[in-house]
Structure 1
Amino acid sequence: MSPLRIVGSAAPPERPDDVIVALRKALHAGELELPLPGRGDTARRWSGLCEHGRRDLSLARLVEGHADAVAILHEAGNKPEPNALYGVWASRASGKGAVLRGTGTNTVLTGTVPFCSGADVLDRAVIAARPEDARDAAEDVLIEIPLPDPRVRALPDTWNAGGMAASRTRDVELTDIPVGENERIGAPGFYTARPGFHLGGAGVAAVWLGGAAGVHDRVLDHLVRREPDEHQLAHLAAMHLGLVASDSTLAGAAADVDAPRTDFDPADVAAVCRSTVERAACEVLALAPRITGPGPLSRDVAFAQRLSDLEVYVRQHHGERELAELGGKLVRASRTGVRP
């Protein structure tokens, strides 16, 4: 991975609707055919996600969802439909989520799923549904459905922020969609039990890193057009160092993923990657406006949008909660003498 080396990536979409056009174009050009995680070329997969994030975060969010769905299907021994845009709808925030009701041939998919990116533009969705009598994710079932479907409705006014608006993220209402054996992916619990679940989380961190690098690009472009003072230069260097450290962390993690130790834990790898990139992204968000001042924030729509997108997207990270979990593992590992 080398997200800090500019290699002439494609220009970002200029308008929200251009994101979907760019996504379709990338699909048909084969640009969404990323290597599968943990199969020997994870670094190139994450580098590709990073490059899309550097171009545009809303676009990258849809690319990441598609790539994650394709990886899930392959892990389950299934094949994705050719030339179809996929997404993964698995959130259970605020007590919502997809539900499986009934048994056998009378099983239906229902419920409201929050945070469904590409809600009204995808061709197929992989949905994590919980049987109505189940307790936790260990019993969740993955369902693949074709879109559009009149029983799948993207709810208006469920994304009111400017940040990541072009990702077309909405709550989606599912109404009694029949589910047969052919629509099921893997066994119950497959979604979170597979190693790719945590590797997908690290892939999201690669997108965040690309988004932060995209802000860095704009700040650097701002400074080369004038004579920066020493404080601006110091802030720029601090941003750069955070991105370099994150890049190194992801590169090392990718190598570990493809040649794991016997005690390799994908959850630990994902936690380190996500927390490292989140800290770098937060530093970028804090320092970029201090470097540029109010001019670009108020007059450069693309720059302001990049900041807004990054601030919203990186909050997918659970911050202190994930750090606390990682810290607990470090303490337990020190007590037992087992390497974390």
Structure 2
Amino acid sequence: MSVSPPAVCPRLLDRTPPPAASGPAGDPPSAVPQLRALLAEGTADLPAPGSGATPARWAALARWGRTDLSLARLGEGHADAVAILAEAGREPVPGATYGVWAARSGGTGAVLTGGPGSWRLQGRVRFCSGAHGLDRALVVALTADGARVADVALDRAGVHRVPGTWETVGMARSDSVDVELDDVPVGDDALVGGPRWYTARPGFWHGGAGVAAVWLGGAAGVLDDLRTALLETDPDEHRLALFAELHAHLAACDALLSATASEIDDTPAAPHRDAAWTVRAAVELACRRVLDVAPRLAGVAALTRGGPLAGRLADLGVYVRQHHGERDLAALGAAVLATDGDR
């Protein structure tokens, strides 16, 4: 007897999967045109975290991730930049698409030299999503007094995209190449917040937790494809059990995200650092299980005959590595043990 698997219907995710993302034909090299379409429609304008509608914000992020993780990466970056500007009492340039470029891995990262009236950006920044197509980026750069944020127009002289630094199948359309900053002038009015403000503000942790909603959406997209594949067969009890396990993982993460979003709205001035670490850890662990189980559950045919599943798995495997694994878990473990932890 054929038994239909249960529908995936966690709290932030719609019961019915969203339609496939629409964009230029021919698998374009970047998802920026789709981001521009969202901006033109007004659907990229999300409520700020802590504004009383954080669950709605995270539901939108999850919906984007469930549809197209490369688009979601750019959409989340744009929404985060707008929220950062708002937290500093600033407005984005009307109609501009934004990213947040803050990576400092492998000894790289931006440096801001000079002083009032003569600031200059130097250095290489990795993983600059949307590098070839975005209009502006909030670049996080070190100064002698601590990190600062600069709102940079990406058509300025000295902003160089480095070829060959994003050669990947997963998240290819996020266009996350390295960018070399070569003596880029920065006006005083382009600096956002003061020294060390970027990581000291509550929104730093609120935004970090929101990224987990995108991961959740990406994992839910995988389950959507698995459900389609299972409904086309007569799944045995072992496959049904594996599918149910993944469904339960995502439902639990969804409930945790929903609760965390409500906590942030209840006390928006608090950083909720430990809650952010916790929800990121929970979703990352669930995604790891999805990445392990889904190929075995789907089988070779579902992975090799032109459907979206293989691409979704590749995207999710790359994107979820924004979580730093055991390093982040160690920080969470220390915080949980501390008597003054923000739990």
TM-score, scaled to structure 2: 0.92
The root-mean-square deviation of aligned C-alpha atoms, in Å, is 1.8
1:300 deviates by 2.8
Q: Secondary structure at the match of 2:241?
A: helix
Q: Where does residue 228 of structure 1 map in the other structure?
A: 235
Partners of 2:167 and 2:241 in 1: how far apart?
Answer: 36
Report Cα offsets for 1:145-192 as digits up to 9, x if no partner: 112223211111001111101001010011111122111101111111
Q: Where does residue 220 of structure 2 map in the other structure?
A: 213
Q: How does 1:190-269 map to 2 (within 5 A)?
A: 190-260=197-267, 265-269=271-275
Partners of 1:273 and 1:184 in 2: how far apart?
Answer: 31
Q: Which has the higher contact order (CA 8 A, sep 6+)?
A: 2
1:290 deviates by 1.1
Select the residue among 11, 15, 19 that pairs with 1:10: 19
Report Cα offsets for 1:96-117 as digits up to 9, x if no partner: 1111122232221111111100
Partners of 1:306 and 1:150 in 2: how far apart?
Answer: 36
1:77 deviates by 0.4
Partners of 2:103 and 2:109 in 1: how far apart?
Answer: 6
Query: Where does the alignment leave 5 or more consecutive residues of structure 1 unmatched?
Result: none
Q: Where does residue 102 of structure 1 map in the other structure?
A: 114
Count matched residues.
Answer: 331
1:4 deviates by 4.1
Q: 1:312 to 1:78 in 2, by over 3 A?
A: same
Select the residue among 315, 324, 329 that pairs with 2:330: 324
Select the residue among 184, 189, 201 that pairs with 1:182: 189
Partners of 1:3 and 1:293 in 2: how far apart?
Answer: 28
Alpha-carbon contact 1:4-1:243 (below 8 Å) kept: no
Select the residue among 154, 175, 179 that pairs with 1:172: 179
Structure 2: which amino acid aligns with 1:286? D
Matched, 1:153 2:174: no
Matched, 1:113 2:125: yes
Q: Where does residue 83 of structure 1 map in the other structure?
A: 95
Q: 1:215 to 1:202 in 2, by over 3 A?
A: same
Question: Which one is further off, 70-79 or 317-326?
Answer: 317-326
Alpha-carbon contact 1:142-1:184 (below 8 Å) kept: yes
Q: Where does residue 7 of structure 2 map in the other structure?
A: none
Report Cα offsets for 1:263-289 as digits up to 9, x if no partner: x54211110110010011111111111
Partners of 2:15 and 2:98 in 1: how far apart?
Answer: 29
Q: Secondary structure at the match of 2:124?
A: strand
Partners of 1:116 and 1:21 in 2: how far apart?
Answer: 16
Q: Where does residue 271 of structure 1 map in the other structure?
A: 277
